[in-house]
């Protein structure tokens, strides 16, 4: 008879993506069964029970969204029927953005508008030194919108043109750390020069370009739903991107890589990956950079980025963290850990992963906006379930 796999409260919290206190709440409500361990002080959970609970959880969704952009199936990611991990190794972000917007894999450069570039550099230069990279992106999008008198044009050709110009402006609004090239450069290189003082290398640019592609879209994620709702009201493309950026700002979405960054850093410079994981588990919080509600056997985006990451202590530490978590709780690393490793390996700040995520996902938000612009307007109107005081 095979021994039953038992999980600690902290391991269950990681699998479910909640705090340990929430796990205890599930137990008190009879949703999860637990047993005491040998010392009678801590709870243990049968992994089969946890898996069944996870499979039965109802995710809150907004019905009626049919999309031809992204498919996630059998732990694989596809953009308009093409394997995203293959695109990440063989294409450019510019081409994949066009694929998401039009269905054609055309490598069309993102033009830099000199007037818009001066504007966004001016407004972002006035921000305090404490401003995060994504703070600068939000200000850039707002400034670009104010400068575009034709921003309410939501025809497909106009949205595509706006998208290319806006993405170029978002990068131009970030302060350069490595000089500004005289000649136009690929999009990944333009972003690289604003994230690290390290000289661009072929392998580094290939890795950053792959990250941009893999993060370009992910079906109806929280930020994408926000973007689609904005588009359904016929908000202009800049407002759609602003809505996406707002939802992306949470620590459980686009900002998650910033939480994983110190984990990788500590694994490299501290006592090692096992001790680092142990410290996080002892603190009672979920280990950042691990687990995903959609991918059960592993996040293909993380696996692809780890494969492209250069050899060195950062890669060794990240893979050791992944191996430790897989062995202990069957929880593989997600793209947030891979982004953190990318940033740390190339001397980027802790919030670089969040900025890469935000810039990359802009293409996806606009692709979903194009679908919404072609659908019935204002079709999202959920009703709340009132639980307050009743009228007298």
Q: Which residues of 282-319 are buried (b: 16+ CB within 10 A; e: fewer)?
A: eeeebbbbbbbeebeebbbbbbbbbebbeeeebbebbb
* CA 384 and chain centroid, separation: 28
Run of H or E residues at 292 = none
Percent of the chain residues past pLDDT 70, beyond the cut: 96
88-140 pLDDT tens trace: 999 999 999 999 999 999 999 999 999 999 999 999 999 999 999 999 999 99
pLDDT at 1 over 50: no
Domain ranges in the chain? 6-56, 70-254+351-373, 256-345
H runs (alpha helix) in 82-132: 84-90, 93-102, 114-125
Q: What's the pLDDT band for 254 if we cut at 50, 70, 90?
A: confident
Catalytic residue status for 336: yes
Among candidate residues 166, 227, 191, 267, the one with its CA nearest the CA of residue 365: 227
290-348 pLDDT tens trace: 988 899 889 999 999 999 999 999 999 999 999 999 988 889 999 999 999 999 999 99
Evaluate whether the domain defined by 70-254+351-373 bears CATH number 1.10.10.60.
Answer: no
Q: What is the CA radius of gyration of the chain?
A: 22
155-165 pLDDT tens trace: 999 999 999 99
Among candidate residues 160, 200, 162, the one with its CA nearest the CA of residue 179: 200
**CATH number attached to the domain at 6-56:** 1.10.1660.10
336, 345, 346, 351: which is the annotated catalytic residue?
336
Percent of the chain residues past pLDDT 90, beyond the cut: 67
Q: What's the pLDDT band for 58 if we cut at 50, 70, 90?
A: low
Distance CA 109, CA 269 (A): 40
Determine which of 55-64, 276-285, 296-305 has the lowest per-residue pLDDT on average: 55-64
Q: What's the pLDDT band for 251 if we cut at 50, 70, 90?
A: confident
218, 236, 292, 368: which is the annotated catalytic residue?
292
| Pair of tokens at residue 377 | 């307007």
Pairing relation of β-strands 70-73 and 76-79?
A: antiparallel
Say whether 256-345 and 6-56 share the same fold.
no
pLDDT at 363 over 50: yes
- CATH class of this structure's domain 256-345: mainly alpha
């Amino acid at each position: 008879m095979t021994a039953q796999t038992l999980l600690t409260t902290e391991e269950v919290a990681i699998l479910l993506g909640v705090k340990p206190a929430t796990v205890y709440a599930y137990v008190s409500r009879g949703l999860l069964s637990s047993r005491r361990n040998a010392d009678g002080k801590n709870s243990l959970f049968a992994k089969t029970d946890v898996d069944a609970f996870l499979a039965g959880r109802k995710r809150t969704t907004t019905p009626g969204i049919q999309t031809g952009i992204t498919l996630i199936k059998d732990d694989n990611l596809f953009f308009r029927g093409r394997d995203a991990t293959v695109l990440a190794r063989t294409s450019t972000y510019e081409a994949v953005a066009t694929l998401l917007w039009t269905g054609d894999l055309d490598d069309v450069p993102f033009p830099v508008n000199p007037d818009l570039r001066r504007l966004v550099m001016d407004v972002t230069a006035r921000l305090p030194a404490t401003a995060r990279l994504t703070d600068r992106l939000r200000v850039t999008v707002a400034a670009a919108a104010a400068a575009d008198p034709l921003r309410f044009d939501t025809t497909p050709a106009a949205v595509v043109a706006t998208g290319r110009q806006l993405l170029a402006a978002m990068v131009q609004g970030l302060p350069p750390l490595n000089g500004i090239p005289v000649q136009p450069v690929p999009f990944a290189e333009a972003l690289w020069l604003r994230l690290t003082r390290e000289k661009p290398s072929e392998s580094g640019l290939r890795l950053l370009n792959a990250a941009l592609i893999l993060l370009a879209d992910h079906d109806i994620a929280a930020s994408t739903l926000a973007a689609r709702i904005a588009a359904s009201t016929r908000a202009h493309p800049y407002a759609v991107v602003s809505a996406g950026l707002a939802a992306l700002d949470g620590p459980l979405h686009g900002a998650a890589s910033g939480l994983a960054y110190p984990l990788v850093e500590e694994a490299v410079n501290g006592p090692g990956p096992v001790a680092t994981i142990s410290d996080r588990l002892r603190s009672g919080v979920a280990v950042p950079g691990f687990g995903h509600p959609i991918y059960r056997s592993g996040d293909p985006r993380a696996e692809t980025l780890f494969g492209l990451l250069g050899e060195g202590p950062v890669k060794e530490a990240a893979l050791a963290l992944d191996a430790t978590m897989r062995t202990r709780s069957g929880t593989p690393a997600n793209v947030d850990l891979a982004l953190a490793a990318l940033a740390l390996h190339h001397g980027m700040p802790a919030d670089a992963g969040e900025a890469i995520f935000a810039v990359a996902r802009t293409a996806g938000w606009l692709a979903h906006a194009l679908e919404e612009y072609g659908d019935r307007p204002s079709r999202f109107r959920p009703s709340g379930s009132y639980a307050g005081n009743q009228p007298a």
